[in-house]
Amino acid sequence: MENLVQLAMQNVNFAAIMPSLVLCCFGMAILLINVFMPRGKTTSASLISIIALLVTAVVSLQGWNNPQFGFAGHVALDNFATFFNMTFLLAAGLTILMSDDYLRREGYPIGEYYPLILFSTAGAMWMASGTDLMTIFLGLEVLSISLYILAGMFRHQLQSNEAGLKYFLLGAFSTGFLLYGIALLYGVAGTTNVADIGLYLSAHPAMIGNPMTVAGMLLMSIGFLFKIAAAPFHMWTPDVYQGAPTPVTAFMSAGPKAAAFAALMRIFILGLAGLQSEWTSLLWGLAILTMIIGNVTAIYQTNLKRMLAYSSIAHAGYALVGLVAANAVGVSGILFYMLAYTFMNLGAFAVLVLAGKKGEENLTLEGFSGFGFKRPFLGVAMTIFLLSLMGIPPTAGFAGKFYIFAGAIKSGYIWLAIIGVLNSAVSLYYYLRVIVYMYFKDPQEDYSWVSMHTGAVVSIVIAIVGVLYLGIIPGKIMEMAKLAIF
Amino acid sequence: MTAAIFYILSAAALLATLMAITRKNPVHAVIYLVHAFFALALIFFILGAPLVAAWEVIIYAGAIMVLFLFIIMMLELTPGEAARGPGWQRWAPVILLSGSIVVCTLLLMTAEPQAGPGGPNFYASPRDFGYGLFKEYALAVEIVSFQLLFAAVGAFYVGRGERTRRRARGDER
Amino acid sequence: MTSFPVLTSLLLLPLAGTGLCLLFRRKPDLCRALTLATTLVMLALCAWVFCQQPDAAGWYLREDYPWIERLGARFTLAMDGLSLLMVVLTAFLQVIAVLISWHQKKHPAFFYALLLLMEAGILGVFLASDLLLFYLFWEVMLIPMFFLIGIWGHGRRVYAAVKFFLFTLAGSLLMLLAIIGLYLLHGKQTGDYSFALEALKHTDCGAWEPWLYAGFMLGFLVKVPVVPLHTWLPDAHTVAPAAGSLDLAGLLLKTGVFGILRFAFPLFPQSAAASLPLLAFLALVGLFYAAWCAYIQGDVKRLIAYSSVSHLGVIMLGLAAANVLALEGAILLMLCHGLTTGALFALVSMLRRRTGTRELAKLGGMWQEAPIFSCFFLFFALASLGLPGLANFSGEILVFAGTFQVRPLWGALAVVGVVFAAAYILRMVQELLWGERPAGRPWPDLTTLEVVALAPLVFFTLWLGLYPETFLAHLHLPVKILLEQAAPLVAAHGGLP
């Protein structure tokens, strides 16, 4: 018995998994506390979650420039993981801040909500810090299962049910692809360790062109591209985003996307560097397809949640451009972009959370007529977020796009950069239309139902500060993103 | 020889899964699924993983499928329309599948233990398996345990609402 | 020189004003006073700089702070004679803009905030000496204009605002790509990744030069605007509020020309030299086409908008001639055009406020009805036409003289174009001031406030027309330096001075 314990402790380095560990412990504690709380009282749970995120942030920052490895090389808390951890924590924090009053308004003040957000954040962290395909896969599962439940949380709303079920079925399907790809790669290299796969492939160049390797790479990409919501694996996005509770949609648009990018980057750049020409040509096409489908379809949307869903597809396309470039500028550009996207998109969703009536039937373009003058703070905030999503300076969106397209041009993908820029020109149209409705149309209503709940307002303020900080003086964060890549 | 058995079993597993997802009668579907699990268990055995093979039978074919059957019977799910055509047509696939699986099992049992369970000189004893699981993949095991917790939370949440939902339906009426 | 960061405060003052206006949005009177105070302080600052002497390299002021070190972008502001004149024009016109929109009723605080924000953006464009910083201000300047047109416009304001935004932004996105391309080329050659204009001037772009130049020029030409990229301008002008039109014609169009002079020509002299005939062609086409369009317009404001396009044709011709006389003339004409066209737009807005229409067919007889208004209108119309002694004449004559030196044919054609200008302006004046007055209630004459707003414009129009040397003195050095840096431009016309 003692022998077994010793055996299990051999490779243990808790510092390497401390952030996710802290989150899970807090999550379980909240589950327990919920038992003793009266039904419908969730404010304390949300406060504890915020504390949990802050503690985790402090713990996670210990790994900055102080990489921790452990568990037989299955997990690493390096700069890369730390940077992404901060992004996830930010996404989770903003989500939780905007959730409390929202859940009460919609009639679902459920205590399980907060632990589930924390658990899915922990899953995202495992994806970013996993250095073994198994860890990454399990991280993806943890992330997804929590999100399946969260997406279908409004049990008595058909749309939410549909969102949960659709996300679950398609997600399970895509995870199957991912697992199949992992199995094939394991068959090739005899290991699931990302770095070892890379070593094996560089030692056996003949295996690089092997159909099994290529098939493994392709199947694995499908799994991640599904989570990123890249075309042609984006079909689930609009329905799920529209049907899920708005804060959950906000989290879904930032957290899992960043996590999947983290995993994809680690696997492709560290493990499958030998196949770079294969995966760049694959991602090149998919990036263009994703940008075009996302932007062109978004033009036709009148529901704002749906419009933001398609816009999130388009943004996945921009970020893919950075991965195609596959140089220091492009890759650190993705890190920066994911952080910027988290700020601007969650900010926009926070405004939607406040602007919605119960049931959110009014979150359409028409429903925003004259909103800007009736609710000046929310109007200005929404305008800043939309300008950032468009990529207009001096906002975070501009700095991020600039970074990524500079990477693409540097690697010689000039046409890709041009197509990307043209796509952002297309995107102007539908983002601008929201501004047009907010300010140029006469108000139909007085928006008296909009009350400025503290949590959501705080999250909006944080997002504004972030968007402007990253837009005006991005130097420090860019420096960190550069240090964070491999 | 092992290769031949492998292909027969793979074909059987595929066929059984196909039948399982096309049956209208849930009990029939479960029976086919059990066949698929048996075929898979044998494949695991051939590939040198006897412990996984045993678990496949015990947990999947045994416990989980029995649970399925139990729930199906408890809920009194109406079976789909009865299969048409003469009796032998209905029974042929089952007999074919179970027959081939039994034959393969016998062949493997009678084969030389030394030559045995084939594969590229790879054999994972339960001890190896345990070492792999708790040494190399210790973290993965922990994550899976966490994951089961969340899944349970989710299942609990989704299931808990049943009463209110029924009440809501009653109100509508 | 002083250590006080004048240029940075020129940018920060209006931003602070914007913030204060948004803060006190419930007190419109306070906002109005704040805005006027801000613009006056800025004007005073600019006037102080105007009295300074430049150093040997032509700089009046230079400020440089670290910004995004990871990318090699710095917060560099610099002011030479060219930007000085533009900055003075901006500060001056912005005071007028506040005065003519004194009685803003609809969301006044927001309106003034946007005016000040736009001033910050425009000043940033004129001052930035770092390409990334320049691009940042270039976009910042768009957004307030978009709102000004969209919220306070008349008629098809949404259409015009969106069209304005999409046109200019599409152009500037291509410019962004060119900026990135130039930045990377320079970095690859020297190992020093920098956005500094002075450093990038020494980049050897090789085969990329025409493409990069085209990217920059598309961004600028849309803004100028040059036919056939001009279609957003008449729409935007038609619907824009008075202050919006004033800023659009007086300042935003100038940023395009300024960009060409400051960035496109010095950065890519070879391609620029090769493109001069094309530029001249576009300029002449614009000159004639816009004049013809102006002649057939029934809407006074639209007519002036087209006349604006036509005048910018003359300015572009000055750039295409690319010698000392023509360039100085073109820059001077920018100032003159800012004053006269701005004043005309302001007058048309005053007219519309009284009569409710801008259709020439429904107007007439203003001379008897509102003599003060008519005097002002006649004065600025004649200035716009190029009457000697008034502003536009001095600029135009320099451009033509310069053009005749290198390409007499272009000059001859352009002079014919000015005859066209006489035609549409005289038609407008005739119909508006002396045409048959339609029945209706009486149209009151200008108020004191409006006269106060217009009087400085009259004063400077006369000054520019009678003694332009005050302003030209600031231009000699920058133009000389520009032509030295972009030597191929001179060579393109056979090496004439």
Write out chain B residues lying below 8 Å of A116, CB-based: 150, 153-154
Q: Residue A130's pLDDT is what?
A: 92
Q: How confident is the model at residue C1 (pLDDT cuts 50, 70, 90)?
A: very low
CA-based nearest residue in chain C for residue A394: C136
C95/C89 Cα distance (integer angstroms): 10
Q: Residue B161's pLDDT is what?
A: 55
Judge whether C32 lies within some domain: no
Q: Name all chains with 3 or more CB-CB pairs below 8 Å to chain C.
A: A
Q: How confident is the model at residue A8 (pLDDT cuts 50, 70, 90)?
A: low
Q: How confident is the model at residue C497 (pLDDT cuts 50, 70, 90)?
A: very low
Work out the angle between the directed axes of helices C28-50 and C81-100 (0-180°, nearest 10).
150
> Residues B69, B75, B81, B84: what is their CA dihedral angle, to the nearest 10 degrees?
20
Q: Residue B139's pLDDT is what?
A: 87
For residue C82 the two structure tokens come to: 């060219």
Write out chain C residues lying below 8 Å of A440, CB-based: 150-151, 157-158, 161
Write out chain A residues lying below 8 Å of B168, CB-based: 156
The verdict on domain B2-123 having CATH code 1.20.1730.10 is: no
In this predicted structure, the answer to whether residue A116 has a pLDDT above a threshold of 80 is yes
CA-based nearest residue in chain A for residue B134: A8
- On whether any CB of chain C is under 8 Å from the CB of A409, the answer is yes
In this predicted structure, the answer to whether residue A4 has a pLDDT above a threshold of 60 is no
Write out chain C residues lying below 8 Å of A392, CB-based: 139, 142-143, 169
List chain B domain ranges: 2-123, 137-173
Please choose, from the candidates B153, B145, B139, the residue with its C-alpha nearest in 3D space to the C-alpha of residue A30: B153
C386/C223 Cα distance (integer angstroms): 24
Distance of CA A132 to the CA centre of its chain: 21
Distance of CA A149 to the CA centre of its chain: 17
Write out chain C residues lying below 8 Å of A335, CB-based: none
Judge whether A2 lies within some domain: no
CA-based nearest residue in chain B for residue A119: B150
Residue C384 and residue C425 in contact, taking contact as beta carbons nearer than 8 Å: yes
Instruction: Say if the Cβ atoms of C170 and A425 lie within 8 Å.
Output: yes
- How long, in residues, is chain C? 497
The CA radius of gyration of chain B, in Å to the nearest whole number, is 21
Instruction: Say if the Cβ atoms of B139 and A8 lie within 8 Å.
Output: no
Q: How confident is the model at residue C494 (pLDDT cuts 50, 70, 90)?
A: low
In this predicted structure, the answer to whether residue A2 has a pLDDT above a threshold of 60 is no
Judge whether A362 lies within some domain: yes
Which of A112-116, A267-271, C21-25, C396-400 has the weakest average pLDDT?
A: C21-25
Phi then psi for B82, rounded to 5 degrees? -65, 145
- Percent residues over pLDDT 70 in chain C: 98
In this predicted structure, the answer to whether residue B168 has a pLDDT above a threshold of 70 is no
In this predicted structure, the answer to whether residue B172 has a pLDDT above a threshold of 50 is no
Distance from CA of B149 to the nearest CA of A (A): 9
Please return the burial class of A81, using the count of CB atoms within 10 Å of its CB with bins 0-12, 13-18 and 19+.
Answer: buried
Q: How confident is the model at residue A5 (pLDDT cuts 50, 70, 90)?
A: low
Q: Residue B85's pLDDT is what?
A: 57
Residue among B139, B154, B168 minimizing CB distance to A17: B139
- On whether any CB of chain B is under 8 Å from the CB of A75, the answer is yes
Distance from CA of C355 to the nearest CA of A (A): 25
Judge whether C267 lies within some domain: no
The average pLDDT across A105-129 equals 91
* Count of structural domains within chain C: 1
Structural domain that includes position C460: 275-497
Chains B and C touch (3+ CB pairs under 8 A): no
Q: Residue B82's pLDDT is what?
A: 56
- Sequential DSSP letters for C279-329: HHHHHHHHHHHHHHHHHH-SBHHHHHHHHHHHHHHHHHHHHHH-SHHHHHH
Judge whether C98 lies within some domain: no
Instruction: Say if the Cβ atoms of A402 and C176 lie within 8 Å.
Output: yes
Residue A256 and residue A147 in contact, taking contact as beta carbons nearer than 8 Å: yes
Q: Residue A137's pLDDT is what?
A: 94
Q: Which amino acid is at C259?
A: G
Residue among C25, C162, C181 minimizing CB distance to A432: C162
Which of A171-175, A354-358, B115-119, C152-156 has the weakest average pLDDT?
A: B115-119
Instruction: Say if the Cβ atoms of A8 and B136 lie within 8 Å.
Output: no
Judge whether C432 lies within some domain: yes
Q: What is the pTM of this model?
A: 0.90
Please return the burial class of A158, using the count of CB atoms within 10 Å of its CB with bins 0-12, 13-18 and 19+.
Answer: exposed
Q: How confident is the model at residue B171 (pLDDT cuts 50, 70, 90)?
A: very low
Q: Residue C343's pLDDT is what?
A: 92
Which residues does C contribute to its contact with A (CB < 8 Å)?
A: 22, 25, 66-71, 107, 110, 132, 135-136, 139-140, 142-143, 147, 150-151, 157-158, 161-162, 165-166, 169-170, 173-174, 176-177, 180-181, 183-184
The average pLDDT across B118-133 equals 74
List Cβ neighbours of B17 (8 Å cut-off, separation of 6 or more): B32, B33, B36
The average pLDDT across B26-42 equals 89
- On whether any CB of chain B is under 8 Å from the CB of A145, the answer is yes
Instruction: Say if the Cβ atoms of B143 and A135 lie within 8 Å.
Output: yes
Q: Name all chains with 3 or more CB-CB pairs below 8 Å to chain A.
A: B, C
Q: Residue B58's pLDDT is what?
A: 92
Distance from CA of B107 to the nearest CA of A (A): 27
Q: Residue A150's pLDDT is what?
A: 92
Instruction: Say if the Cβ atoms of A421 and C68 lie within 8 Å.
Output: no
Give the best residue of B134, B143, B165 to mutate against chain A (max A CB count within 10 A): B143
Write out chain A residues lying below 8 Å of C161, CB-based: 436, 440
Q: Which amino acid is at A146?
A: S
Q: How confident is the model at residue A456 (pLDDT cuts 50, 70, 90)?
A: very high
Judge whether C227 lies within some domain: no
Interface size, chain A vs chain B, as Cβ–Cβ contacts under 8 Å: 78
A70: β partners: A75
pLDDT single digits (tens) C441-462:
677 888 888 899 999 999 999 9
* Count of structural domains within chain A: 1
Residue among A74, A119, A153 minimizing CB distance to B140: A74
Judge whether C146 lies within some domain: no
Instruction: Say if the Cβ atoms of C166 and A421 lie within 8 Å.
Output: no
Distance from CA of C99 to the nearest CA of A (A): 24
Write out chain A residues lying below 8 Å of C184, CB-based: 406, 409-410
Phi then psi for A365, rounded to 5 degrees? -60, -45
Q: Residue C435's pLDDT is what?
A: 80
Structural domain that includes position A453: 16-484
- On whether any CB of chain B is under 8 Å from the CB of A35, the answer is no
Write out chain A residues lying below 8 Å of C140, CB-based: 393-394
Instruction: Say if the Cβ atoms of A142 and B134 lie within 8 Å.
Output: no
The average pLDDT across C22-43 equals 90
The average pLDDT across C149-159 equals 88
Which of A323-332, A374-383, C283-292, C363-372 has the weakest average pLDDT?
A: C363-372
In this predicted structure, the answer to whether residue A50 has a pLDDT above a threshold of 90 is yes
In this predicted structure, the answer to whether residue B167 has a pLDDT above a threshold of 80 is no
Q: Residue B166's pLDDT is what?
A: 47
C395/C328 Cα distance (integer angstroms): 8
Chains A and C touch (3+ CB pairs under 8 A): yes
Query: SS3 for C196?
Result: strand
For residue C418 the two structure tokens come to: 């000015």
Residue among A393, A422, A440 minimizing CB distance to C150: A440
Q: How confident is the model at residue B114 (pLDDT cuts 50, 70, 90)?
A: very low
A324/A331 Cα distance (integer angstroms): 9
- How long, in residues, is chain A? 486
Q: Residue B137's pLDDT is what?
A: 86
Q: How confident is the model at residue A10 (pLDDT cuts 50, 70, 90)?
A: low
CA-based nearest residue in chain C for residue A370: C151
pLDDT single digits (tens) C180-191:
889 988 888 888
Query: SS3 for A69?
Result: strand
Instruction: Say if the Cβ atoms of B131 and A148 lie within 8 Å.
Output: no
In this predicted structure, the answer to whether residue A113 has a pLDDT above a threshold of 60 is yes
